[in-house]
Chain A
């Protein structure tokens, strides 16, 4: 089902929950609403579900405006962070509840519930009480209840946040596989950017009720249009340095008290036109430790002292102080970097991002 959201707003007594949101979700896509808590992503989701009434704007399903349609008539299924199961019913009672309300005959209910339960891997738990299930099993029941009525649109409200890390990883893959197998259009609300990046066809990044960006995951990572998106997408987060970009004779430099870097012309041109400081973004993974074997080119390196090392397993997350400016970079752990070491970092300047500090807009992908 195609979902169009036009100029959608929600406010309670002057408090804005969602501000003029425009989104277009293609049939069969999984779209993630990504943002910190309180950014309006759940508010928007609940408007799509029909629980909240929009203060302004429209929501359309396949071209039909559904603003006034009751939640039960929207053909949606929803999965909640708290599972929202009915504790006084059995697993069967929970999954069959939507079908009972649709007045499906008994044999039909039994068959469909069994089919969904088998699909979710809880086929042998149908007689159990909800309280007897683990968190992961409860979330499966919740997913089964959402799927059993064969919805046109699936809504997920941080469904994995209450699960432990390992289970989250498994469920993530399962939900994605199920969604693409069944081809159900889905909206997935999360504050976990890894979840959004791995699962979503497109990500809507939100902050303070405003839609910051809406694009495919790679684009958000490689070409962030705002400072907020650049800082929010990617883990560990991007480093930001205040620099002044100047250009002369076709050579562009980013300078501050701490650093002096040569930038490629196609990146720096627009920033050079701005008088004063701009924000330069550098991802922790876009640097390399300089050694005798691979010396860095002049003007493309930063030198600093190691202030902290966090082993992440495959790599070390190293905190470096570059003439007093803090940066966090990822370094191959076999290099054996220790606190107190003086290191030289080669910067991949072709991946550098630049932002106007006033408007917080990108100076590369406006």
Chain B
């Protein structure tokens, strides 16, 4: 190899490049810190409030009005069976949704992406249109459907009105349009050749879906699972409408009962329950974040 001569770059006019870069970085960090400040203050407030007797702004106060007064009294609820019941119900709803939405979306998304059948186009546009209807508009109709489902012997107890299963069923249905469209998009991006190769290798269509195609859309499925889990965990309107009393209440409904039923409201306890509710979500995110970050880094390799 012979070396070719390259003219050195001309020095920039004005500030030296290093100084300019430093200024730019300072500006960027300044802007970022400023824009997340409100959220940071909010979280700090929440966390301080949960371990304080009382707060004034960000300052914890004791009974005499001085600085201090740290207490774990607000966390007494962890010994209460009712919150663990609510937690369990929340988990049940969220997990049922992750499983239900996951199975239906990957199967439906694959079919809509890869197979030809009558009404495919109509189905796709219908799901989009129906997704535009807010859950609130459907509450009364769903109420009657759940009442009717509850009348079915035996299984009606699990998926009818005032049951965790019924709430999960409704939430799954509301989440499916997004899920199916999302997974269809991921399947659309996969090359046909891999599928053809598997068919020639001797796989059935179901096996192709299960063993060959599903592993390729794992990042998409992880993202969908996370969205679905959050939606299920934070679900308020549907469980609030279709459940009665504390037995089948989930965390957000329980939190609401805390505010309205106890007088006067202990806001610091509400803050503690709110923080408590976030913990499983954080754990779930830690487990899926690696997959999530992979979505755009290496969705389909090998071609």
- A82 part of interface (Cβ distance < 8 Å): yes
- B126 part of interface (Cβ distance < 8 Å): no
CA distance A101 to B207 in the complex (A): 10
Which of the candidate stretches A22-30, A84-92, A304-312 sits at the interface with the other chain?
A84-92
Chain B 180-208, CB-CB to A under 8 Å as 1, else 0, gives 00000000000101101111111100010
B-chain residues with CB within 8 Å of residue A149 when the two chains form the complex = 201-202
Name the residue on B nearest A89 (C-beta): B215
Which of the candidate stretches A73-81, A215-223, A353-361 sits at the interface with the other chain?
A73-81
- Provide 20 A-B residue pairs closer than 8 Å at the C-beta atoms, listed in order of the A residue: A51-B199, A71-B196, A72-B200, A72-B202, A78-B196, A80-B196, A82-B193, A84-B194, A84-B197, A85-B197, A86-B194, A86-B215, A87-B300, A97-B198, A98-B201, A101-B207, A102-B202, A131-B301, A138-B302, A149-B201
A-chain residues with CB within 8 Å of residue B200 when the two chains form the complex = 49-51, 71-72, 74, 76-78
Contact partner of B215 among A74, A77, A88, CB < 8 A?
A: A88
B-chain residues with CB within 8 Å of residue A51 when the two chains form the complex = 196, 199-200
Within 8 A of A (CB), among B203-223: 203, 207, 212, 215-216
CA distance A84 to B201 in the complex (A): 12
> Would you call B203 and A82 a contact (CB within 8 A)?
no
- B303 part of interface (Cβ distance < 8 Å): yes
Within 8 A of B (CB), among A86-133: 86-88, 97-98, 101-102, 130-131
Chain A 127-156, CB-CB to B under 8 Å as 1, else 0, gives 000110000001000000100010000000
B-chain residues with CB within 8 Å of residue A76 when the two chains form the complex = 200
B-chain residues with CB within 8 Å of residue A86 when the two chains form the complex = 194, 197-198, 212, 215, 302
Query: Known contacts A71-B199, A101-B201; is A87 also within 8 Å of B301 by CB?
Result: yes
B-chain residues with CB within 8 Å of residue A87 when the two chains form the complex = 216, 300-302
Range class of the B interface residue count: 10 to 19
Name the residue on B nearest A81 (C-beta): B193
Name the residue on A nearest B214 (C-beta): A88
> Would you call A80 and B193 a contact (CB within 8 A)?
yes
CA distance A356 to B109 in the complex (A): 54
Interface centre among A71, A74, A81, A84 (most CB of B within 10 A): A84
CA distance A50 to B300 in the complex (A): 25
> Would you call B203 and A101 a contact (CB within 8 A)?
yes
- A188 part of interface (Cβ distance < 8 Å): no
Nearest-Cβ distance from residue A85 to partner chain B, whole angstroms? 5
A-chain residues with CB within 8 Å of residue B197 when the two chains form the complex = 78, 80, 84-86, 145
Name the residue on A nearest B199 (C-beta): A71
> Would you call B302 and A46 a contact (CB within 8 A)?
no
Name the residue on B nearest A51 (C-beta): B196
B-chain residues with CB within 8 Å of residue A78 when the two chains form the complex = 196-197, 200
CA distance A46 to B199 in the complex (A): 12
CA distance A71 to B202 in the complex (A): 7
Within 8 A of A (CB), among B102-143: none
- A83 part of interface (Cβ distance < 8 Å): yes
- Residues of A participating in the B interface, judged by any CB pair closer than 8 Å: 46, 49-51, 70-72, 74, 76-78, 80-88, 97-98, 101-102, 130-131, 138, 145, 149
B-chain residues with CB within 8 Å of residue A88 when the two chains form the complex = 215-216
A-chain residues with CB within 8 Å of residue B302 when the two chains form the complex = 83, 85-87, 130-131, 138
- Residues of B participating in the A interface, judged by any CB pair closer than 8 Å: 191, 193-194, 196-203, 207, 212, 215-216, 300-303
Name the residue on B nearest A78 (C-beta): B200
Nearest-Cβ distance from residue B235 to partner chain A, whole angstroms? 33
Q: 9 closest pairs, A vs B, by CB?
A: A87-B302, A84-B193, A101-B202, A72-B202, A84-B197, A88-B215, A98-B201, A82-B303, A80-B193
Nearest-Cβ distance from residue B194 to partner chain A, whole angstroms? 5
> Would you call A130 and B301 a contact (CB within 8 A)?
yes
Interface centre among A88, A130, A149 (most CB of B within 10 A): A88
B-chain residues with CB within 8 Å of residue A97 when the two chains form the complex = 198, 201
> Would you call B216 and A72 a contact (CB within 8 A)?
no
Nearest-Cβ distance from residue A264 to partner chain B, whole angstroms? 50
CA distance A86 to B302 in the complex (A): 8
CA distance A74 to B200 in the complex (A): 8
B-chain residues with CB within 8 Å of residue A145 when the two chains form the complex = 197, 201
**A-B contact sample (18 more), CB < 8 A, given A46-B196, A101-B207, A102-B202:** A49-B200, A70-B199, A72-B200, A74-B200, A76-B200, A78-B200, A80-B193, A82-B191, A84-B196, A85-B197, A86-B198, A86-B215, A88-B215, A98-B201, A101-B203, A130-B301, A131-B301, A138-B302
Name the residue on B nearest A79 (C-beta): B197
> Would you call B201 and A72 a contact (CB within 8 A)?
yes
Nearest-Cβ distance from residue A257 to partner chain B, whole angstroms? 49
Nearest-Cβ distance from residue A153 to partner chain B, whole angstroms? 11
Nearest-Cβ distance from residue B121 to partner chain A, whole angstroms? 14
Name the residue on B nearest A151 (C-beta): B200
B-chain residues with CB within 8 Å of residue A72 when the two chains form the complex = 199-203
A-chain residues with CB within 8 Å of residue B215 when the two chains form the complex = 86, 88
Name the residue on A nearest B215 (C-beta): A88
A-chain residues with CB within 8 Å of residue B207 when the two chains form the complex = 101
Interface centre among B193, B194, B201, B212 (most CB of A within 10 A): B201
B-chain residues with CB within 8 Å of residue A84 when the two chains form the complex = 191, 193-194, 196-197, 303
CA distance A82 to B194 in the complex (A): 9
Nearest-Cβ distance from residue A178 to partner chain B, whole angstroms? 19
Name the residue on A nearest B196 (C-beta): A51
B-chain residues with CB within 8 Å of residue A82 when the two chains form the complex = 191, 193-194, 303
CA distance A70 to B198 in the complex (A): 12
CA distance A145 to B203 in the complex (A): 14
Nearest-Cβ distance from residue B117 to partner chain A, whole angstroms? 15
Contact partner of A83 among B212, B216, B300, B303, CB < 8 A?
A: B303
CA distance A50 to B191 in the complex (A): 18
Nearest-Cβ distance from residue A192 to partner chain B, whole angstroms? 19
Name the residue on A nearest B191 (C-beta): A82
Name the residue on B nearest A87 (C-beta): B302
